Amino acid sequence: MTIENISSTKSFAGWHKQYYHQSGVLNCQMRFAIYLPPQASERKVPVLYWLSGLTCTDENFMQKAGAMRIAAELGIAIVAPDTSPRGQGVADDPSESYDLGLGAGFYLNATQAPWREHYQMYDYVVQELPELIEQHFPVSNVRAIAGHSMGGHGALVAGLRNPERYQSISAFSPIVNPINCPWGHKAFLNYLGKNRDSWMQYDACELMKASSSDIPVLVDQGTSDNFLEEQLKPHALIEAAAINEYPLILRMQEGYDHSYYFIASFIEEHLRFHAKHMG
């Protein structure tokens, strides 16, 4: 697998870089960003995979979260993929809505036409991208995964389904119960079809209820989030964890909204949480 560097910027004695590569899983060209801390010049470092939310690209987190200073201190690489396949021939919602199609891959493997040809974001994030990163960069196979909103949903699903691949999971404002919210209904019906049984494998609440692992999970949710009650439903994840006695840490943060101001306020705590579990 080859990669093409398109930008390289020094930051906190490390490097933020962007790359293109041809994805065999998604059948299109993809872009990702990576932050390599200064320690990566001397040894392999662990990696945090960050999954962004609806409408985002690889750039939102890297530019707005303020994560590089702490990542440089802790010696953690950060990888941020795009949120969907893109390019000529990739299906998009004809109505150009923000919550389906381009920028809205939902980190699942689509089974329905026309989406299934390209929208295999679950396999891309869990398998193909880490293989690419570990092939080309001085990183180890010690991984954590985190995300925001749709990306928080993706991080929880990927981590809970693959606890052997990750040391820890965290999320900001995640969609925790997509089978019971409008964003999830729209995405799952289009990408996965009408059989709701197939939706369960991409629902964090259902996965947490059935989990036999105890991979550490940290979730932060703002109390002033406009999407709190209709789309995000953090209480459902609390209830799911209680059913299974899962060691979930879910913190309601007073007055915070859905924005990157919220993420920037607590990203240091999330990075230190992952660093602790990465050893």
Residues labelled as active-site residues: 149, 225, 258
Task: Name the H helices within 15-149.
Answer: 59-64, 68-74, 121-123, 129-136
Burial readout 125-143 (b: 16 or more C-beta within 10 A, e: otherwise)? bbebbbebbeeebebeebb
Please identify which residue in the block is written with the tokens 């209830």. 239
Short-list 204, 175, 202, CA closest to 188: 202
| CA atoms of 146 and 216, how far apart (whole Å) | 12
Query: Which CA distances in Å does 185 have to 90, 182, 215, 231, 274?
Result: 22, 5, 27, 10, 31
